[in-house]
Amino acid sequence: MPLKHHPTDPDKLIFVKGEYDLQKPWVGLTTQELHKCVVETGIHVFEGDIYKFVAMLEKILQAKNT
């Protein structure tokens, strides 16, 4: 719960609505991060297809989180 000290009475706390409701901008995976995921999971799919698939997943996640 977002609380802060009262401006004129330091012994009291007040509720501050919306103070901590800031959203971070969406940051997708870089090409290097995507490549690392593909290599480390050992996915054996045509390279272009897997990158298209992951790009679609990112779009869906971005839509759900904005």
Mean pLDDT by 10 residues, the chain (66 residues): 80 74 73 79 69 80 77
| pLDDT score recorded for residue 25 | 76
Helices 47-64 and 31-41 cross at an angle (nearest 10°) of: 120
Query: What's the pLDDT at 37?
Result: 76
Q: What pTM was estimated for this model as a whole? A: 0.44
Question: Residue 18 has what pLDDT?
Answer: 65
CB 2 within 8 A of CB 19: yes
Can you give the pLDDT at residue 63? 81
For residue 36, the model assigns a pLDDT of 80
